[in-house]
Amino acid sequence: MVKICGIGAGYVGGPTMAVIALKCPSIEVAVVDISDSRISAWNSNKLPIYEPGLEEVVNQCRGKNLFFSTDVEKHVHEADIVFVSVNTPTKIRGLGAGKATDLTYWESAARIISDVSNSNKIIVEKSTVPVRTAEAVEKILTHNSKGIIKFQILSNPEFLSEGTAIQDLLNPDRVLIGGNQDREGLEAIQKLKAIYVHWVPQDRIITTNLWSAELSKLADNAFLAQRISSINAMSALCEATGAEVSQVSHALSKNTKLGPKFLNASVGFGGSCFQKDILNLVYICESNGLTEVANYWKQVITVNDYQKGRFVKRVVTSMFNTVTGKKIAILGFAFKKDTGDTRKTPAIDVCRGLLGDDACLSIYDPQVTKEQIHKDLSVSSNVVKQVSVVGDAYEATKEAHGICILTEWDEFKSIDYQRVYENMRKPAFVFDGRNILNVDKLREIGFILYSIGRPL
Ligand code: NAD
Ligand code: UGA
């Protein structure tokens, strides 16, 4: 039986390893993490992350060929293939702070692998890493093996999106595997490919050299985020000219050269990866002396910050230039629907902006806890009275002066807005940061509705 060990039981490691276990019953998969609480949650009925379909997959395999453990050393030691899906955040201090990737977690994983291995292994980079990370990893891995134990490093970046992770893993557009192009490297690529062919059609498995695979992941996220910033930049121009951004998106989407996805204007993109991966790309460009290229990609983030700031400004200016003491309902806090993840969610910046103008916020999100929201907003004793986290949209909007929709949860589309309107202060404002509401219907009820990229 082939044994796989997945280091890192987070949003990527957990679902990815679970799907491998589901699709490859002949493979034993152990997912390990240094976090006791995360592993306990994976072994309980309340999984540490919310992801549609995940519970079903875990329930089918856990205890059969899927195991969650904190015993990193034991499972790495026993494995033939080790997938590394640890976090790779932006550095917050030292050289490259604010841009470069912090590879501390990756390095500690590599050191453990090196220390406990006494047989040849394939090491798979699943985390998103700077291009040429495999070179550094190889040095760490071989530092005490004296060449007796052979490690083959492969880059196999993950392209799943949160909220649709299981669907994306079961039916990926493509699987990318990069490796050394010598005989041993090509053999390792084939061994990893043999796992994916259990459920992924061969023609969707792309193989490349190591550096192309590492860079493709960064390029992928940069292109996706760039598209959102492009349509968001257009949304500002729409508001200024009377064009409607949804009509512009629709027109663009029918161009087969462009395609229909990632054209939804919004309050800004969030999530743990787009910003950090672009910053990483910017840092790599700067380190290679490519100033113009670095500036080009930096602009994607500048436009995203502009979009979040523009939204806050619109709320304040529309409400007669003051929100002081006014109750504003925040519907949605997660960075997108169908996840409880709040990492880099635009809701944090919008809420902080409104709190800065002394608004009182009543926040509701179907998946995000009060503790998480307080932590994200760094709610201290002097603003605690300004923030309440409530259990449903009706409570959040009761006696509010305005509503901000910050996550596109489906349930926000089917709220009884007539009832909401009757219970709000007048004039009742709605700021739809996700363009999910029926403009005509809400205006007919009496709301003053602002959506992204549409004239008031
Ligand atoms: P995460 O923070 O949810 O999970 C990482 C886990 O690794 C944590 O539980 C942490 O405790 C564990 N860990 C860190 N160092 C460890 C060590 N030495 N030994 C054992 N466990 C260790 O992060 P994530 O969102 O799953 O992202 C992981 C990587 O995948 C990142 O590089 C990210 O850029 C990339 N990625 C993320 C997504 C996504 O949707 N979240 C998608 C594609 C790629
Ligand atoms: C993104 C990529 O889509 C994945 O391919 C990649 O694997 C992943 O990052 C990663 O590397 O972490 P994710 O961040 O989970 O996935 O979610 P997305 O669906 O891409 O949404 C990101 C943000 O962009 C969200 O805030 C979303 O609301 C926003 N968005 C997305 C828009 O504002 N408009 C759109 O048209 C699409």
Give all strands (DSSP E) within 66-174, no chain letters: 66-69, 81-84, 121-125, 151-155
Three-class DSSP category at 430: strand
Looking at residue 225, its pLDDT comes to 98
Chain position carrying tokens 């190889």: 138
Give tens-digit pLDDT for 35-45: 999 999 999 99
Q: Are 154 and 208 in contact (CB under 8 A)?
A: no
- Whether ligand 2 lies within 6 angstroms of the CB of 224 is answered as yes
Give tens-digit pLDDT for 243-277: 999 999 999 999 999 999 999 999 999 999 999 99
Dist CA 188 CA 186 (whole Å): 5
Give tens-digit pLDDT for 314-360: 999 999 999 999 999 999 999 999 999 999 999 999 999 999 999 99
Give tens-digit pLDDT for 171-210: 999 999 999 999 999 999 999 999 999 999 999 999 999 9
Catalytic center residues: 273
Looking at residue 107, its pLDDT comes to 96
- Whether ligand 2 lies within 6 angstroms of the CB of 155 is answered as no
- State the average pLDDT over residues 274-297: 98
Per cent of the chain over pLDDT 70 is 100
Q: In this structure, what DSSP letter does residue 96 have? A: T
Q: Which atom of ligand 2 is nearest to the CA of 341?
A: 15
Does 38 count as an annotated binding residue?
Answer: yes
- Whether ligand 1 lies within 6 angstroms of the CB of 304 is answered as no
The complex scores an ipTM of: 0.99
The ligand placed nearest to the CA atom of residue 246 is 2
Q: Whose CA is nearest to atom 10 of ligand 2?
A: 273
CA distances from 339 to 90, 104, 200, 342 (A): 22, 27, 25, 8
